[in-house]
Amino acid sequence: MTETESENGLKVQNQEVPESDTIAYIRRLIVFIVALTVLGLGYPVLQFTTAIYRADLPVDEITSLASTLHNDISFKIPVYLDIPTTLDVFIPDSQEKLNQFVNSKYPELANFWSLDLKKITPGIDPEIDYVVKLVQDENENGDDAVDMSPFSKETTLKVSQNWIDSKLVDQVLSSVLVDMVFKEEISELVSIINNRAKELDKNIVVPYSPNYNLVFSLLVENGRTVKWDIETALKQMKPFLNKLTHYTNFSISTQVQYYSKTEKPVVFDEKKNAYILKESDLSTFINFGDWNLNTHDMDPSINFLVYFPESNYENKPWVIDHLDNGAFLVKQWGGVYIFNKEKPILEGYDVNITELELIPILEIFTSQLFQLLGLATFPKSPSMRVDTLTRLTLFKNLKKTLENLHSLVKLTVSLNEISIPDETKEHVLKSIELVKLAISEINQKQNYHNSMTISSKALTISDRAFFDKEMVQQAYFPNEHKMAVFLPLLGPVTSILAIALIKILVSFKTGLKKKKAD
Amino acid sequence: MLLARCLVWAIALLASFAAADPQVITTDEAESVISKSSHTNNWAVLVSTSRFWFNYRHMANVLSLYRTVKRLGIPDSQIILMLSDDIACNPRNAFPGTVFNNKDQAIDLYGDAIEVDYRGYEVTVENFVRLLTDRWDEDQPRSKRLLTDENSNIFIYMTGHGGEEFLKFQDAEEIGSYDIADAFAQMHEKKRYNEIFFMIDTCQANTMYERFYSPNILAVGSSRIEESSYSHHSDMEIGVAVIDRFTYYTLAFLENINRDSRVTMNKLFDEFTYDNVHSNPGIRTDLFKRNVSEVLITDFLGNVQNIVLDNVEKDILFNSNHNKQEATDNNETRPVHSYSKIDISIDTEDSNELTKIAPEVQRAMGVGIAGLVIALWVIAKDLA
C-alpha cells in the first residue's frame, strides 16, 4: 500500500494489485523463449554469415611431398657404350664401379641421380642420347685421351693397352663421366639439394618462365638512317632456339630507334683516338628514361642492344676501357654491344649493317643468352648443356612449386582472416597432381622433355593458386572493428534481454526471501 | 750461462712468432666500406591518398619524388604512380595543367611525360593491398601490376593524412598498420622483394611502420606519435601549401644525387633534424640487415645495373648450327674439341705433398714449444 498526493491535495491510497501468477509466468516464459531464440538461432546465424569462407587445403599432402621430393625423384640417365660385343661383360662391372664412385663422392645423390650404362643399339642417335665410344689407343701415353664432341652428346675415350692390362678401364670411365661430362650438372644438383645460398655473382640467370620475349634493338645515336639485316642473321639462331622448344617458348622481336643518346657524354681520348667508356660508367650506360625498352608484356624480356654511336661517321670508335670487344652483359636483363664500323663510311651513303657483320655480334649475344638462361659452361656441346639445363630446371621447378604451396599453407595458418576460395583449392589439387605426374615421367620413363613441360605447368598453376584474386584480407572493415560495426544491431537486443533476465532473477530472489519469511 | 739464456730466449721468441697470426688491413679496405646489394632491378610505388584542392601539397610531394626517381634512372614500366585526385586540372588551379612544388614555380612537375597508373577513385585501400600482394583478375594490365621478384629493391612512398596506426584514403576509408605489415609478410613469403625502403610523410607517421615483422625492410617516418607533420610553405598565387617539410628536405638532398652517386643512406637521414622538419622523424632499421651507412641511395632510388664483362664464349652459335658431319664435310676448322688428359691416382695414401696444418694446431704447437723451452730454461737455472 503506498500513499500518493493527488492534484487537489487529497491523500489517496493506491492499492497495488499483486500480479496474478499466470501473467508473471507468461512474462518469464516470453523472456526465456526470446533468450533461447537469440542464443540458439541468432548467434549461430551471426557467426555463419560473418565467417570468412576458408576451403580446406590438403596440408598434410603438401608438407609430405615437399619434404620427400628429393627421395621421390630418381634420375637414371641412359649412357650408351659403344664397345665391341666381346666386351659386353664389362658393362655390369663398370655400372657397379660407377655407382660406388658417385655415391662415395657425392652421398647426397644416392638414389636420386645415377647413370644407366647400356650397350649401344643401332637406333641410338648421339644428338639425342649420351654415347661413349671406347677405342683402342695406339700410343701408350695418356694425352688426348678424352674427346668430347662440341656438337653432339658423344664422347670418345681412347683406351691404351696399359689401362686394359691393369684393369683400370672402368675406373677411367667412371672418372670421365662423373668428373668431366656431368661435372657441372652434379655440382649444381648438390648445391640445390643443400640449399646453398646464392652467391652474389650468380645473380645472372633470368628467373624461369614458360615464355620469353627476345628483343633485339638497334639504337642509333643520331637521326641518319641505319639499316641492319637482322632478320636473315637471326635465322642462324633458330636451330639453337629450336633445341629449347620443350623448355620454353621464345617470341623474337626487333626494333630500330633513333636519337638515342646516353645520359652522360662520353670522353674523347686524343692519344688513343677513340671515345673511352670507363667500366664504372657502364652501370648507368642504358638510358631507360629516353630509350624505349618497355615491351608492355607480362612475359619477361631478354633485351639485346646494339648501340651505333655517331662517331662512326668520323671513323672514331667507342671503346670500353681495357676490353677488346665492346660487349657487356647486364645481369638478369640482357646484353649490350657497341658497334664500331671498321671501314669508313662514304659520304651520302646510308649505313647498312650486313649479315656478315652481324654474325659475330650474334655469337656474342648467343654466349650472353646462354649465361642468362643458366646453361652450364663446361661441356662445349650445346646439346649436352641443354640436357643438363632441362634436368636442373625440372628439379628446381618441382621444388619451387612445392615451396609455393607450402607458403600458401603457411599464409593461411598465420593470417586467419584471409579467405580461401574454392578456386584456390582446385588449383592446389591440380598442381599436386601435375607434380606427381612429372615425378612419374622421370622415374618410369626417364622422359625429361615431357616432365619439363609438365613441371612448368605445375609451377604456373601453383602461382595461380597463391595469387587468387579472392584472397584479399580486406573485408569491408578490418576484423578488429567487427564488434564496433555490429553494435547498433547487437546493442539494443542484448541490453533489453539482459535487463529482462536480471529483473526476473531479482523477482525470483525476492520471492524466495518472502517464502523464507513466511 | 748468459749465452745459453739468450739462446733460449731467442728460440722462445721465434716459436711464439710461429704461433702468432699476423693481420694486415689494406688502406683501401679501411676507407669506404659499401656493402654490396644483391638486387638486380628497382621498383618504386608512389602513393598519394588525399582528395580536394587544399591537399595540393600531397600530389606535389608524390610528383616530386616521381620526377626524382625517374631522373635517377628507374624506368616508367617499373614505377607505380597512384594519384588520388587530379590537382592539375582542378577548376581552382590558377595555372591549369601544372603542379608546382615551390613558390618560385621553377619546375612543372606535371609536364608532358608522366605516366599515372592509378588515378582518382582507383586509389583505394583494396587496390593498394592487391597491388602489393599481386592478387588481380586476369585482365589487369601489366602497367598496373607490381611484377617484382626476389631480386627487386622496392621504394614505397606514401603521403596524405594519417593518425595513430592508420592512413586515410580518399577521405572515406583507412588502411591500418597491421594491413601493411601483413601485406609485406605475404610479399616476403612469396619472395617478391629483396629489400624494401618505406618512406611515409603524414601526421604520426612513425606509428605506421611499428607493426612490420618481415625482414629486410628499412622504414622512415616523418613524425612521432601524437605529433603532426607540417607543410613547408604556401604559394600565394596558387593559394595553398605546395610542399611538406619532410619531403622538401628529402628532395633538397636528392637534387645533389645523380645516377652513379656513391652517397650512402645515412647522409639522407642526417637531413631529418627537428630544426628542419619541425617534428621528430623516425627511422626503423632493426629489420634491415645491412648497416645504413653502407647502403647506397641509388640502391633504392636509382637503377644501377650489375654488369659482367669479359665473359664471351666463342663458337657457341657455330656449334649449335652444325653437327660433326657438316663440319668435316665443309672442312671447317673452327670448333675446338675438348681434349683432356686423364690423371689416374692409383694409390692416394703416400703422396709427397707437404702436409697442411690448421692454424689452431699451429698456435697450440707454438705455445707448446715456447712453454717447453721456458721450462727447460728454468730447470737449467736450477741445475746450474
Q: What is the pLDDT of residues B139-154, one digit of tens each?
A: 899 999 999 998 999 9
Our CA angle for A28, A32, A34, nearest 5°, is 120
pLDDT average, residue stretch B348-373: 77
Q: Are residue B111 and residue B217 in the same domain, yes or no? A: yes
Q: Are residue B141 and residue B174 in the same domain, yes or no? A: yes
pLDDT of residue B345: 46
pTM recorded for the entire structure: 0.82
Q: Is the pLDDT reported for residue B342 higher than 60?
A: no
pLDDT of residue B335: 47
Establish if B207 belongs to a structural domain. Answer: yes
- Look up residue B379 and give its three cell numbers: 730447470
Q: Are residue A214 and residue A356 in the same domain, yes or no? A: yes
Establish if B17 belongs to a structural domain. Answer: no
Establish if A256 belongs to a structural domain. Answer: yes
- Look up residue B69 and give its three cell numbers: 626517381
For chain B, the average pLDDT equals 85
Q: Are residue B380 and residue B240 in the same domain, yes or no? A: no
Q: Are residue A232 and residue A358 in the same domain, yes or no? A: yes
Q: Is the pLDDT reported for residue B248 higher than 80?
A: yes
Element spanning A96, H or E = helix A90-105
Q: Which of B39, B58, B161, B232 is catalytic?
A: B161
Q: Is the pLDDT reported for residue B31 higher than 60?
A: no
Sign of CA dihedral B4, B7, B8, B9: positive
Establish if A505 belongs to a structural domain. Answer: yes
pLDDT of residue B329: 55
Q: Are residue B244 and residue B336 in the same domain, yes or no? A: no
Q: pLDDT higher for B347 or B343?
A: B343
pLDDT of residue B153: 95
Nearest-Cα distance to chain A for B138, in Å, is 9
Q: Are residue B188 and residue B261 in the same domain, yes or no? A: yes
pLDDT of residue A255: 93
Q: Are residue A171 and residue A246 in the same domain, yes or no? A: no
Establish if A295 belongs to a structural domain. Answer: yes
Q: Is the pLDDT reported for residue B240 higher than 90?
A: yes
Establish if B26 belongs to a structural domain. Answer: no
Q: Is the pLDDT reported for residue B184 higher than 90?
A: yes
pLDDT of residue B205: 94
Of A150, A239, A468, the CB nearest to B335: A150
Tally of structural domains, chain A: 4
Provide the residue range defining the domain that includes B377.
356-384
pLDDT of residue A156: 85
Q: Are residue A439 and residue A490 in the same domain, yes or no? A: no
Q: Are residue A351 and residue A424 in the same domain, yes or no? A: no
Establish if A371 belongs to a structural domain. Answer: no
B307 interfaces chain A, CB cutoff of 8 Å: yes
Nearest-Cα distance to chain A for B186, in Å, is 7
Element spanning B43, H or E = strand B41-48
Q: Are residue B258 and residue B174 in the same domain, yes or no? A: yes
pLDDT average, residue stretch B31-47: 83
- Interchain pair B143, A296: CB under 8 A: yes
Nearest-Cα distance to chain B for A188, in Å, is 20
Q: Are residue B275 and residue B329 in the same domain, yes or no? A: no
Q: Are residue A394 and residue A425 in the same domain, yes or no? A: yes
Helix (H, G, I), strand (E, B) or coil at A6: coil
Establish if B59 belongs to a structural domain. Answer: yes
Q: Give the domain-ending residue among B269, B286, B301.
A: B301
Establish if B120 belongs to a structural domain. Answer: yes
Q: What is the pLDDT of residues B50-87, one digit of tens each?
A: 999 999 999 999 999 999 999 999 999 999 999 999 99
Q: Are residue A63 and residue A96 in the same domain, yes or no? A: no
| Cα–Cα distance measured from residue A133 to residue A147, given in angstroms and rounded to the nearest whole number | 10
* Residues in Cβ contact with B376 at an 8 Å cutoff, skipping those fewer than 6 apart: B8
Q: pLDDT higher for A203 or B344?
A: A203
Q: Are residue B238 and residue B382 in the same domain, yes or no? A: no
pLDDT over 90 percentage in chain B: 67
Establish if A198 belongs to a structural domain. Answer: no
Q: Give the domain-ending residue among A146, A168, A193.
A: A193
Q: What residues of chain A lie within 8 A of the CB of B176, using their CB?
A: 478, 480
A302 interfaces chain B, CB cutoff of 8 Å: no
Alpha helix (H) residue ranges in chain B: 2-19, 27-31, 56-71, 125-133, 177-189, 245-254, 265-270, 274-277, 298-301, 316-321, 324-329, 359-383
Backbone angles phi, psi at A117, to 5 degrees: -80, 130
Q: Are residue B384 and residue B332 in the same domain, yes or no? A: no
Q: Is the pLDDT reported for residue B178 higher than 60?
A: yes
Q: Which residues 158-187 on chain B approach chain A with CB closer than 8 angstroms?
A: 176, 178-179, 182, 185-186
Establish if B15 belongs to a structural domain. Answer: no
The CATH number of residue B123's host domain is 3.40.50.1460
Complex-level ipTM beyond the 0.90 threshold: no
Establish if A337 belongs to a structural domain. Answer: yes
The CATH number of residue A162's host domain is 3.30.379
Q: Are residue A314 and residue A392 in the same domain, yes or no? A: no
Query: Within 13 A of B297's CA, how many CA atoms are on the CB side?
Result: 23
Q: What residues of chain B lie within 8 A of the CB of A147, using their CB?
A: 337-339
Q: Which of A226-240, B283-297, B352-366 has the lowest mean pLDDT?
A: B352-366
Q: Are residue A461 and residue A414 in the same domain, yes or no? A: yes
| Cβ-based neighbour number of residue A95 at 10 Å | 20
Name the one residue in this structure whose C-alpha cell is 585501400. Answer: B125
Active site residue B233: no
Q: Is the pLDDT reported for residue B303 higher than 60?
A: yes
pLDDT of residue A189: 87
* Residues in Cβ contact with B353 at an 8 Å cutoff, skipping those fewer than 6 apart: none
- Look up residue A269 and give its three cell numbers: 681520348
Residue B321 and residue A236 in contact, taking contact as beta carbons nearer than 8 Å: yes
Of B76, B142, B306, the CB nearest to A203: B306
pLDDT of residue B6: 64
Q: Are residue A216 and residue A279 in the same domain, yes or no? A: yes
Q: Are residue B285 and residue B367 in the same domain, yes or no? A: no
Q: Is the pLDDT reported for residue B249 higher than 90?
A: yes
Sign of CA dihedral A249, A254, A260, A266: positive
Our CA angle for A367, A370, A376, nearest 5°, is 115
Establish if A461 belongs to a structural domain. Answer: yes
Residue B342 and residue A175 in contact, taking contact as beta carbons nearer than 8 Å: yes
Tally of structural domains, chain B: 3
B48 strand-pairing partners: B159
Q: Are residue B213 and residue B119 in the same domain, yes or no? A: yes
Q: Are residue A64 and residue A99 in the same domain, yes or no? A: no
Please list the pLDDT of chain A residue by residue as tens digits (518 residues): 556 666 666 766 676 777 788 888 898 899 999 999 988 998 899 888 888 788 888 889 998 988 888 888 888 988 888 887 777 788 888 888 888 888 888 888 888 888 888 888 888 888 888 888 888 776 655 556 778 888 888 888 887 777 777 777 788 888 888 888 888 888 888 888 887 755 434 688 898 999 999 999 999 998 899 999 999 999 988 888 888 988 999 999 999 999 999 888 888 888 888 898 888 888 888 888 888 888 888 899 999 999 999 988 888 889 888 888 889 999 999 999 999 988 888 888 888 999 999 999 999 999 999 989 988 887 788 888 899 999 999 999 999 999 999 999 988 888 877 888 899 999 999 999 999 999 999 999 888 999 999 999 999 999 999 998 888 766 566 667 788 888 998 899 889 999 999 988 898 899 888 888 87
**From the candidates B70, B165, B317, B344, which should be mutated to test the interface with A, based on the most A CB atoms within 10 A?**
B317
Q: Are residue A111 and residue A26 in the same domain, yes or no? A: no
Across the A:B interface, residue pairs with CB atoms under 8 Å apart total 214
B41 interfaces chain A, CB cutoff of 8 Å: yes
Establish if B248 belongs to a structural domain. Answer: yes
pLDDT of residue A452: 93
* Residues in Cβ contact with A180 at an 8 Å cutoff, skipping those fewer than 6 apart: A146, A148, A379, B340
pLDDT of residue A85: 78
Backbone angles phi, psi at A420, to 5 degrees: -120, 105
Establish if A223 belongs to a structural domain. Answer: yes
Q: Which residues 272-291 on chain B approach chain A with CB closer than 8 angstroms?
A: none
Q: pLDDT higher for A8 or B228?
A: B228
Provide the residue range defining the domain that includes A251.
206-363
Establish if B31 belongs to a structural domain. Answer: no
Q: Which residues 99-128 on chain A approach chain B with CB closer than 8 angstroms?
A: 127
Active site residue B203: yes
pLDDT of residue A52: 79
Q: Are residue B133 and residue B193 in the same domain, yes or no? A: yes
